[in-house]
């Protein structure tokens, strides 16, 4: 009888059998960055209704558009959420920074690339947190994004904002334009470090001007430092282009075209402002009804088909969303001139005109700009009101479809004059968003402390930077 013995060696750890070989279990820093940035643009650019974040509903509160069926947001019966910003944006950006920081670069070029990637990720974190502060006031910050602490405290908005400016300053210093950054994964500038540096300075300019009435010293210093490095043309605009096929189409297209929703029309205050100035941007912004541009009374239930709606440009699935543009920078420089800030341009009118020209150029109607600027209610020397009114009204127009910026600049400059609609929850346009209801129920003690600190969690409680 012959015996045959087989020897089997278990050289493999049996735990490896639990590894999913078909689906990724790790991600690169670039992947996290892309996802975080795209999510930010998605929540900013979504159709105003249905809205789940204070960034998308701000288009209604800026009164560029109005709801015609479900009017609760237009009438301020609304509680925002911030999950999309904390979880989908900030958490992904934080993970991007953590993964990138673990890279082991080989050589000087790779070291510069790594530092640039970290600086760019930091800039976008500053942007996202700034939006939260500008919307809510005091927010979870120093204890935010920690899964071990599900009940974070709220930090004072002015303290957070000052820290964000410091973080932005540090990030700008780390940007090295002699090197590269993201090889892939940068949906804004495709890794162009020089463009990112201009954006960072433009963001810094905007943030400095936001707080200039509440902290004049910090605001003025920030503006002075930022102006020389800010955008110089529309080629610098911070924007993200979408794709023509789902699931990466512009979110407005998903609602207007794919979803065939008929919830939103152009608001009467916006249409009237453009009509009285014979503004040629009307034909791009929205459609005509019976040969006229017609806006609906804000916050009222009306027939969708009776009013002008978004124009053809805004029904393009690949429509870019703008985070910040050259026009906004020129308006800020005009304001700096009016405030007589040291180092600011001497002539506010020049930069006011440049801002309007930039808006016209972006929409492909630059040849119409000079005629428009010569109009008596547009020309800087003859247009009605103070510099805040002249700049505020034109900036509000130029910020169409940039809801968060339009609403915030309206609150800061107090122009144009907007009124709450009939039947609204409060009798003024909201100057902040109330905290999410989930915070009241899940993080009650910290919510109550924050509410008391800002002077009550109300829509008409002014934030620290909104002094006038």
49 membership: H or E segment, kind and range: none
Name the one residue in this structure whose structure tokens are 């930090």.
Answer: 155
Give the count of alpha carbons within 13 A of 457, CB side only.
20
Tell whether domain 27-231+256-272+294-313+416-436 is in CATH 3.40.718.10.
Answer: no
Q: Is 66 helix (H, G, I), strand (E, B) or coil?
A: strand
CA distances from 257 to 151, 153, 265 (A): 40, 42, 14
pLDDT (mean) for 91-97: 97
pLDDT confidence of 52, banded at 50, 70, 90? low
pLDDT at residue 11 in the model: 47
**Which residue spans within 234-307 are E strands per DSSP?**
238-240, 264-266
pLDDT of residue 104: 94
Cα–Cα distances (Å) from 433 to 99, 136, 145, 438, 458, in that order, read: 33, 5, 21, 14, 8
Indicate if the pLDDT at residue 327 is higher than 70: yes
pLDDT value at 20 more than 70 = no
* The pLDDT of residue 44: 84
Asked which of 97-101, 109-113, 250-254 is least confident by mean pLDDT, the reply is: 250-254
- Residue 172 contacts residue 201 (beta carbons within 8 Å): yes
The ranges of the chain annotated as CATH 1.20.120.840 are 326-401
- Calculate mean pLDDT across residues 285-314: 95
- Left if phi > 0, otherwise alpha if psi is -120 to 50, otherwise beta: which for 308? beta
Average pLDDT of the chain to the nearest whole number: 92
Q: Quote the percentage of the chain above a pLDDT of 70.
A: 92
Task: Let me know: does 45 contact 18? Beta carbons within 8 Å.
Answer: no
In this structure, of 81-90, 129-138, 348-357, the range with the lowest mean pLDDT score is 81-90
User: Could you tell me whether strands 139-140 and 238-240 are parallel, antiparallel, or unpaired per DSSP bridges?
Assistant: unpaired
Secondary structure in 3-state letters for 288-355: CECCECCCECCCCCCCHHHCCCECHHHHCCCCCEEEECHHHHHHHHHHHHHCCCCCCCCCHHHHHHHH
pLDDT of 13 above 70: no
Q: How confident is the model at residue 342 (pLDDT cuts 50, 70, 90)?
A: confident
The two structure tokens encoding residue 310? 């978004």
pLDDT classification of 192: cutoffs 50, 70, 90: very high
pLDDT score for 359:
98
User: Where do the CATH 1.25.40.390 domains begin and end in the chain?
Assistant: 27-231+256-272+294-313+416-436
The pLDDT value given to residue 54: 61
Residue 375 has pLDDT above 80, yes or no: yes
Copy the structure tokens of residue 394: 């034109």
* pLDDT value at residue 247: 84
Q: Give the pLDDT of residue 80.
A: 81
Average pLDDT of the segment spanning 250-266: 87
Specify the higher pLDDT residue, 270 or 59: 270
441 vs 446: CA distance, rounded Å = 11
Region 386-405: what's the mean pLDDT? 97
Which 8-state DSSP code applies to residue 407?
A: H
- Would you state the pLDDT for residue 92? 97
Residue 48: the pLDDT is 53
| Token code pair at residue 427 | 């009798």
- Mean pLDDT over 54-71 rounds to 87
Tokens of 342: 């040291």
Name every residue whose Cβ is closer than 8 Å to that of residue 154 and which is 6 or more positions away in sequence.
138, 139, 140, 141, 446, 447, 449, 450, 453
What pLDDT score does 217 carry? 97
Q: Is the pLDDT of residue 90 over 50?
A: yes
As a whole number of angstroms, the distance between CA 22 and CA 192 comes to: 34
Task: Write out pLDDT tens, residues 193-243.
Answer: 999 999 999 999 999 999 999 999 999 999 999 999 999 999 999 999 999
- Integer Cα distance of 416 and 398 in angstroms: 13
List Cβ neighbours of 11 (8 Å cut-off, separation of 6 or more): none
CATH architecture of the region 326-401: Up-down Bundle (1.20)
Alpha-carbon distance of 367 to 133, in angstroms, equals 39
Supply the pTM of this predicted model: 0.93
Quick one: CA torsion of 359, 360, 366, 371, rounded to 10 degrees? -120
């Amino acid at each position: 009888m012959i015996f045959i013995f087989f020897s089997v060696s278990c050289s493999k750890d049996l735990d490896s059998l639990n590894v999913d070989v078909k689906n990724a279990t790790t991600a690169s820093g670039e992947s996290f960055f892309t996802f975080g940035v795209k999510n930010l643009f998605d929540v900013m650019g979504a159709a105003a209704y249905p809205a789940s974040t204070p960034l998308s509903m701000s288009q209604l509160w800026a009164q560029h558009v109005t709801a015609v069926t479900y009017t609760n947001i237009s009438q301020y019966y609304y509680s925002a959420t911030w999950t999309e910003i904390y979880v989908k944006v900030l958490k992904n950006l934080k993970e991007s920074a953590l993964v990138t920081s673990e890279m082991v670069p080989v050589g000087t070029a790779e070291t510069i690339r790594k530092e640039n990637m970290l600086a760019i990720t930091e800039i976008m974190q500053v942007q996202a947190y700034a939006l939260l502060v500008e919307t809510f006031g005091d927010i979870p910050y120093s204890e935010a994004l920690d899964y071990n602490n599900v009940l974070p405290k709220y930090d004072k908005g002015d303290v957070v904002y000052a820290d964000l400016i410091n973080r932005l300053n540090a990030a700008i210093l780390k940007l090295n334009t002699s090197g590269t950054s993201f090889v892939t994964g940068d949906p804004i500038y495709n890794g162009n470090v020089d463009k990112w540096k201009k954006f960072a300075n433009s963001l810094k300019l905007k943030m400095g001007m936001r707080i200039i009435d509440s902290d004049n010293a910090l605001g003025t210093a920030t503006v002075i430092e930022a102006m020389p490095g800010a955008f110089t043309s529309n080629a610098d605009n911070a924007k993200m282009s979408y794709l023509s096929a789902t699931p990466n189409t512009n979110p407005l297209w998903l609602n207007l075209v794919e979803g065939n929703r008929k919830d939103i029309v152009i608001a009467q205050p916006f249409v009237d402002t453009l009509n009285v100035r014979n503004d040629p941007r009307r034909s791009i912004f929205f459609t005509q009804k019976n040969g006229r541009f017609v806006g609906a009374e804000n916050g009222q239930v009306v027939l969708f088909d009776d009013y002008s709606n978004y124009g053809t440009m805004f029904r393009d699935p690949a429509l870019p969303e703008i985070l910040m543009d050259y026009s906004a920078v020129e308006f800020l420089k005009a304001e700096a001139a009016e405030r007589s800030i040291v180092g600011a341009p001497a002539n506010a009118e020049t930069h006011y005109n440049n801002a309007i020209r930039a808006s016209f150029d972006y929409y492909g109607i630059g040849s119409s700009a000079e005629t428009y600027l010569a109009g008596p209610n547009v020309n800087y020397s003859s247009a009605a009101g103070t510099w805040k009114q002249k700049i505020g009204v034109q900036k509000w127009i130029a910020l169409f479809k940039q809801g968060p910026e339009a609403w915030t600049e309206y609150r800061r400059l107090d122009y144009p004059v907007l009124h709450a609609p009939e039947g609204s929850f409060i009798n003024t346009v909201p100057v902040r968003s109330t905290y999410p209801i989930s915070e009241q129920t899940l993080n009650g003690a910290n919510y109550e402390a924050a509410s008391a600190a800002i002077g009550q969690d109300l829509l008409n409680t002014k934030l620290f930077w909104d002094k006038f």
